[in-house]
Amino acid sequence: MNLEHINALKTLLSLPKKIAIIPHKNPDGDAIGSTLALWHYLKGKGHNAMVVAPNDFPKFLKWMPGAESILNFEKENTQAMDRISSAEVIFTLDFNHLGRVGQMTASLEAAEATFVMVDHHQEPSDYAQIMYSDVRMSSTCEMVYHLLTYLNAEDEVTSEIANCIYTGILTDTGSFKFKSTTSTTHRIVAKLIDKGADNTAIHSRIYDTNSPSRLHLLGCALKNMVILSEYNTTYITLSQEELDQYNFSKGDTEGFVNYGLTLEHIRFAVIFIENREEGILKISFRSVGDFDVNHFARKFFEGGGHTNAAGGKSDASMAETTRYFESLLPQFKKALTL
Ligand SMILES: [Mn+2]
């Protein structure tokens, strides 16, 4: 974050403000962790702050300190709209394009607040007056920690803040495994544990939450896995029929795509999931090393994300989509096998 923006933020927060803090739609551990961490900090400084989420978030994040205070735009619409339109400052965390908040987009576009963006995704749009955008960062949670140091507030990191930030770093780094995990990330994590982050409990609350039907759905997904050794690539399909058969509930397929990458030599793993309600296939792309799935998702599947993790969609059938996907691989053979 450059000095000009740090100083602008310090000035902005020098008097108590009415603030809305916004995560993206379908918020994940990093989005909820970063917004709640910032909320705890701002509240402690005497601001009137509130986290407003576009929709609900997964059960395995409900234990987070402050989670019960999050306004749900879908369910508490009047209150949420009022908070956004009356806010003097709006922080948008873990996204960089106003379209990422779904039905909340129009409210944000109409808001007269000063916008502050904190985010690590590529190609930010320019709606924010104060920007902290860095694609090299492991997570928005790591950026919130840096932000607090820029505000000279490292000593004000409470155990609530530490638990929130730890959670987002944990989930966005694939448990400290992805390339974006640096020595700085680990130094911050060490400080968070010193400040009260209960690392063992957090791991268990996040990852030991399977239901029997989810494990059965995972079994189905793994059985469907197609391995294209020639391209060090693998993909999984899940039809709506299969989702129904295993009582799919939202979030159940989270992380399934990563199983492909646990195969030896595999560099590129994909999952195609049918969503009959929306009439599309939702696609997740993962890679290891230099193969850029952000580029791949943008070019061929109307999506995007990071170098090693991206999303996309297809309006075609499962059979057509996987055929198309396979037809794209020969042009990337060199990148995938070198
Ligand atoms: Mn993130």
Which residue type occupies 218? L
* Cα-based distances in Å from 285 to 22, 29, 156, 304, 327: 26, 19, 38, 9, 16
Supply the pLDDT for residue 179. Answer: 86
Pairing outcome for strands 89-93 and 71-72: unpaired
Query: In DSSP terms, which residues pair with 115 in a beta bridge?
Result: 90
Name the band, by pLDDT with cuts 50, 70 and 90, for residue 282.
very high
Q: Which amino acid makes up residue 294?
A: N
Helices 293-300 & 318-328 angle (0-180, nearest 10): 120
> According to the CATH classification, is domain 3-207 in 3.90.1640.10?
yes
CA of 21 to the centre of ligand 1 (A): 15
Task: State the distance from the centre of ligand 1 to the C-alpha of 278, rounded, in angstroms.
Answer: 25
Nearest to 139, CA basis, from 179, 91, 199 = 179
261 CA to middle of ligand 1, Å?
Answer: 20
Could you tell me the distance, in angstroms and rounded to a whole number, from the CA of residue 139 to the centre of ligand 1?
Answer: 5
Residue 131's nearest CA partner among 4, 306, 307, 304 is: 4
Question: In this model, does residue 296 exceed pLDDT 90?
Answer: yes
Tokens of 267: 């560099």
If you measure from the C-alpha of residue 172 to the centroid of ligand 1, how many angstroms do you get, rounded to a whole number? Answer: 6
Give the CA-trace dihedral at 162, 165, 166, 171, to 10 degrees: 160
- Mean pLDDT over residues 85-99, rounded? 97
How close is the Cα of 94 to the center of ligand 1, in Å?
5
* CA of residue 122 to ligand 1 center, whole Å: 11
pLDDT score recorded for residue 243: 98
Q: Is the pLDDT of residue 218 over 90?
A: yes
Residue 282 β-bridge partners: 273, 313
pLDDT interval class at 85 (50, 70, 90): very high
264 contact partners, CB below 8 Å, separation of at least 6: none
As a whole number, the mean pLDDT across the chain is 97
Instruction: Say how many Å lie between the CA of residue 327 and the centre of ligand 1.
Output: 31
CA of 26 to the centre of ligand 1 (A): 12
Hey, what are 264's tokens?
Answer: 């030896």
Give the pLDDT score at 26. 93
pLDDT tens column, 156-206: 999 999 999 999 999 999 999 988 999 999 999 999 999 999 999 999 999
Task: Quote the ligand 1 centre to 216 CA distance (angstroms).
Answer: 28
163 C-alpha vs ligand 1 centroid, how far in Å?
Answer: 16
Ligand 1 centroid from CA 283, angstroms: 18
Q: Do the domains spanning 3-207 and 212-337 agree at the CATH topology level?
A: no
Closest CA to 150 of 9, 52, 326, 331: 9
Share of the chain above pLDDT 90, in %: 95
From ligand 1's centre to the CA of 254, what distance in Å?
15
Tokens of 261: 């990458």
- What is the length of the chain? 338
- Given a contact cutoff of 8 angstroms between Cβ atoms, the answer to whether 227 and 263 are in contact is yes
Give how far Cα 299 sits from Cα of 37, 145, 262, 282, Å: 35, 34, 26, 16
Confidence of residue 250 (pLDDT cuts 50, 70, 90): confident
Predicted local distance difference test score (pLDDT) of residue 115: 98
Pick from 116, 96, 93, 87: which is nearest to 28 by CA? 93
Q: Which CATH architecture has domain 212-337?
A: Roll (3.10)
CA distances from 13 to 17, 45, 177, 184 (A): 7, 9, 35, 27
Model pLDDT, residue 178: 87
Ligand 1 centroid, distance to 323 Cα (angstroms): 31
Distance 257 CA to ligand 1 centre (A): 17
Domain ranges of the chain: 3-207, 212-337
Instruction: Encode burial over 29-42: b for 16+ CB neighbours within 10 A, e otherwise.
Output: bbbbbbbbbbbbbb
Model confidence at 122: pLDDT above 90: no
Distance between CA atoms of residues 143 and 151, nearest Å: 12
Judge contact between 163 and 199, C-beta under 8 A.
Answer: no
Q: How far apart are CA 80 and CA 104, in angstroms?
A: 9
Distance 140 CA to ligand 1 centre (A): 5
Q: For residue 109, how far is its CA from the centre of ligand 1 (angstroms)?
A: 22
Q: What pLDDT, in 10s, does the model give residues 12-64?
A: 999 999 999 999 999 999 999 999 999 999 999 999 999 999 999 998 999 99
Q: Where are the alpha helices (DSSP H) in 48-182?
A: 77-86, 105-110, 140-150, 159-172
Residues 135 and 133: their CA atoms lie apart, in Å, by 7
CB 70 within 8 A of CB 53: yes
